[in-house]
Structure 1
């Protein structure tokens, strides 16, 4: 099969019966990416300004534009969207423009069947490029969130730990900080909480700083008070140890989930339901995709907090990610839907597949 034939087969895969081919605009508003994907992803956007001063970015992915357009037709309307086209991101290596293909299933009533369909799509894409045995890493956001909810700690820390899930370095820094004895913050002694914003305003004006540019006094005061509350909230050392142990679990899926069950028992956590759900999803991934050698990585998650449930990535022999995906039931609600809407999808890194396929043919 030639490169052109493979590309044509991929086009057919993303626009077959029952799939609407999504042709999203290349120029889109960047606000949803800053709001939902965070500063790390936002720093990779390629920004431009329109003639009227409006800010745009070159499309960095298809998932958010597809979800935004889907909301206009009704968030609870079942739909399947396929895509194939260029996306644009600043990268430390490689071109800033590259092609992605993918499938997004939104609001389908049977979430298990939807996951099966996405896994089957990923398998079919790999088959087009002759990738028979990719390495597969699997994670479960629901399982981590259930574990985190069971941990003994002040509630103020749970969202901050959750926000760092999938960011190993940031998580390590946070846990290291929590493991150190807390030192009280120095601050405006004798000033009541309701007066801190005024104190900040006066300090800013004294130093010639604008009260309207960048962060204002109210936001600075709020963050100061929030940080005080965090510093005063102690996380027990045994909780930090449990989190470190959980996040380090990785290996054969059955063995990894057994290790999590043992850890939960040691901590007195009731996680059997969440572990069973994760095991069922992993089995579904294995069977629907005709895959073997899956690795369950307890600390694995996309760096986007609207993901839920099972997530996965499939890599080639050089370790490059060829397919990545998972469930993201929170996204449509975060974009304005009244409730969470079942959603699952995957993205195919086309040029990596083409390079992997070419390398394989060269070695034959």
Structure 2
């Protein structure tokens, strides 16, 4: 590693240590299954994979959040409040850019005071980049928990609930979903729309079993490598989507919700107005946002510099609440720092009961460019 980067590393780790975060150094070689399970098979093309003598699929770590979380779950501190920092190489194919690059960050596990922990992560991230000479940044924030609360309050059919929550972080896909919903609500009724609506509103497992049995009775067999159950699952979802499962009022509420952006306090006012006008019970999620903003102020964060948008998402399915990015002024695409809350991740990794978690990652390449330095993305941290 070049001398300038080594100095940055020391400053970052010192700032994390002063805040009480112990350095974690998980192995570079990791089981591939958690990454594939949590990010989907689409990530496979970006991983560097191998197989051990027992047939287990392994990979070079593509990030450090999951490895740090796995080490925490195997430690005596599992389930208790604990904080870790890290700085090390990660490995991902990035199409013409170096596949080995440096990532730093912080992960906080087990804290029940979620709003305060969220605010601490944002404050630590701002302090960390200030420690390497960058202070003037754009602060972009959002909260997927608000979107989930809205979807639940609207009482949508399960198939639409699953689809919209899944696509929240994929803005183009979400826009396509809303357009499809708009067209479906205008479509004429067909002779089996009532059946589709009944299936959509029923227990998913029961509906899937019914469709699977009907296909089997009709003599359906595997097609194109898909089993009867897989074909039935796809049919159930697609036929329900075509059935026009969303009332126009709900569509209008969704569009109004996703248009809210600006200063956090202004957004809170607009959200409370929407909740009242549409008679939706999303007060608890709004209260959590308001509490987080209060803790940000206590942490010395200038709220006037924070932008909140209900449509803001980070493109990762495991986020469950607060999300944020820090960008260099005028750089819309590449974040310097990115993170958020992921309360469901540790349960997916095997925790016997839910454990709150929040953290962030720092992209050393982007940090170097923002600081006007020229460093190699490839390097080692001693």
Q: Distance in 1 between matches of 2:211 and 2:98?
A: 53
Aligned CA distance change for structure 1 residues 350 and 249 (closer, same or farther; 3 Å): same
CA contact (8 A) 1:129 1:354 kept: no
Match of 2:274 among 263, 269, 276: 263
After the TM superposition, which of the residue ranges 244-253 and 135-144 deviates more from structure 2?
244-253
Matched, 1:150 2:153: yes
- Which ranges of structure 1 fall in alignment gaps of 5 or more residues? none
Structure-1-length-normalised TM-score: 0.85
Q: Distance in 2 between matches of 1:312 and 1:8?
A: 24
Aligned CA distance change for structure 1 residues 175 and 94 (closer, same or farther; 3 Å): same
Aligned CA distance change for structure 1 residues 109 and 274 (closer, same or farther; 3 Å): closer
Matched, 1:237 2:248: yes
- Measured after TM superposition, the shift of residue 171 of structure 1 is 0.2
Match of 2:215 among 168, 192, 196: 196
Matched, 1:275 2:275: no
CA deviations on 1:238-257 (whole Å, 9 max, x unpaired) are 21122122112222222222
Match of 1:165 among 165, 168, 184: 168
CA contact (8 A) 1:197 1:221 kept: no
Aligned CA distance change for structure 1 residues 192 and 71 (closer, same or farther; 3 Å): closer
Q: Distance in 1 between matches of 2:146 and 2:34?
A: 27
Q: Distance in 2 between matches of 1:199 and 1:30?
A: 40
After the TM superposition, which of the residue ranges 275-284 and 131-140 deviates more from structure 2?
275-284
The alignment yields a C-alpha RMSD, in angstroms, of 2.9
CA contact (8 A) 2:48 2:91 kept: yes
Aligned CA distance change for structure 1 residues 229 and 10 (closer, same or farther; 3 Å): same
Query: Could you tell me which residue of structure 2 aligns to residue 298 of structure 1?
Result: 310
CA contact (8 A) 1:79 1:106 kept: yes
Q: Distance in 2 between matches of 1:185 and 1:345?
A: 51
Q: Distance in 1 between matches of 2:236 and 2:324?
A: 38
- Measured after TM superposition, the shift of residue 134 of structure 1 is 1.0
CA contact (8 A) 1:313 1:324 kept: yes
- Which ranges of structure 2 fall in alignment gaps of 5 or more residues? 193-209, 375-382
Aligned CA distance change for structure 1 residues 245 and 289 (closer, same or farther; 3 Å): same
Aligned CA distance change for structure 1 residues 2 and 26 (closer, same or farther; 3 Å): closer
Query: Could you tell me which residue of structure 2 aligns to residue 180 of structure 1?
Result: 183
Matched, 1:322 2:336: yes
Q: Distance in 1 between matches of 2:323 and 2:62?
A: 20
1:358 match: secondary structure: coil
Matched, 1:78 2:81: yes
